Structure 1
């Protein structure tokens, strides 16, 4: 009991002590990119490996571009995974299983190989189109802005706060989708369903 009383007295005395300027708190406040898009509570700027600790804007923009790109791909992957798990197929592909077993099944037939070639062609075109076209006069507004003066969908009519909000939503949805597709694939490989009704793709 005495120890608790002494501890509380010390704590209350410390509350009235003048605040000390510590280098640690200054260095925490001086983190580069801590106010950039995506640095959100509760984690704030999450860089456990110190990849951007040197403050290189070029490196940060490159990693942000990778993050946005993989997020967009993962959103498509989750959509495709759940769509096929729901039993929806393109005409002629009704017999193709869903999940990871779809790839070996596609390789077994000429039609399936044709589908894989079409997928490869789509990926190639998407990779070429979805980048900043340096040969145009259009200037990217932010990292991941691949409109290149051709697409708008009303983006230019939004104010700055709305644009920031929508970019934050996309970034967070991409992060969730990256975790989502990873979780779906891992659970399928383990044989544990996380889908409604206990459905396991590929079975």
Structure 2
């Protein structure tokens, strides 16, 4: 009897899941078609040569089953992945430029922090920072991350909003203003387009700028990891051999590892 009930319930649940999956797949297919169209519209040299490239099939996934359960609309995973790529690309562009600047010994005219010495590579400069300084970076980044999720209703990237958008921190919406991490005095400028120059551009230039940003972000992600890979494993990136300082005995990706190789969060 138990076996019969198990099979019956199993068949029923399988039928429901299959029906829901079919409906979800149709809706998800539309979001994926938009993604393919976006890739094919990228006529720049890199985008045109690569086109739509999804070797892991990430555009067909449903993270945590939230779309299938109806808690998020179809295409939410694609919106999440697109937003993540744009955000990581922006961080990588800042990291790549910062690495080039710091590796060439360019810094403020004063000593940036106690113990700073000339000739340190970017990973060594980070390792030489005292833990309290590192915590300041992480706390500030955490605040920006929290505020970056405070979208007005219907404008979040996972529910149909435009990926890559960072909500205004100068004129916060109600959700952001009620956030515990929003500073009481507010921010004088927005994080994105602080001087309003991008908003004044014609739409065709904005569209091209978005394509350029994605391409540059992808290159920057490869670039910054190329620097770190060559430092950690000399010769792994032949093009960079001899251009970056090798650090085979240093834990480059340890955020709280000091120059002595010991991790300390305080």
1:45 aligns with 2:52: yes
1:63 aligns with: 81
1:181 aligns with 2:224: yes
**DSSP 3-state at the match of 2:48:** coil
Q: Structure 1: which 5+ runs fail to align?
A: 1-30, 107-111
TM-score, scaled to structure 1: 0.67
For residues 206 and 217 of structure 2, the distance between their equivalents in structure 1, rounded to whole angstroms, comes to 16
Cα displacement (A) at 1:117:
1.8
**DSSP 3-state at the match of 1:76:** helix
For residues 158 and 92 of structure 1, the distance between their equivalents in structure 2, rounded to whole angstroms, comes to 38
Instruction: Please list the CA deviations of residues 135-187 of structure 1 after superposition, one character each: whole Å capped at 9, or x if unmatched.
Output: 7x988872111143844523332222111101111111111110001100000
**DSSP 3-state at the match of 1:42:** helix
User: Bigger radius of gyration, 1 or 2?
Assistant: 1
Task: Determine which structure has greater relative contact order: mean sequence separation of CA pairs < 8 Å that are 6+ residues apart, divided by chain length.
Answer: 1
- From 85, 95, 105, the equivalent of 2:117 is 95
TM-score, scaled to structure 2: 0.53
1:143 aligns with 2:145: no
**DSSP 3-state at the match of 1:52:** helix
Q: Structure 2: which 5+ runs fail to align?
A: 1-31, 63-73, 171-189, 249-266
Indicate if the aligned counterparts of 1:52 and 1:59 stay in contact, CA closer than 8 A: yes
Query: Number of residues paired by the alignment?
Result: 167
**DSSP 3-state at the match of 1:41:** helix
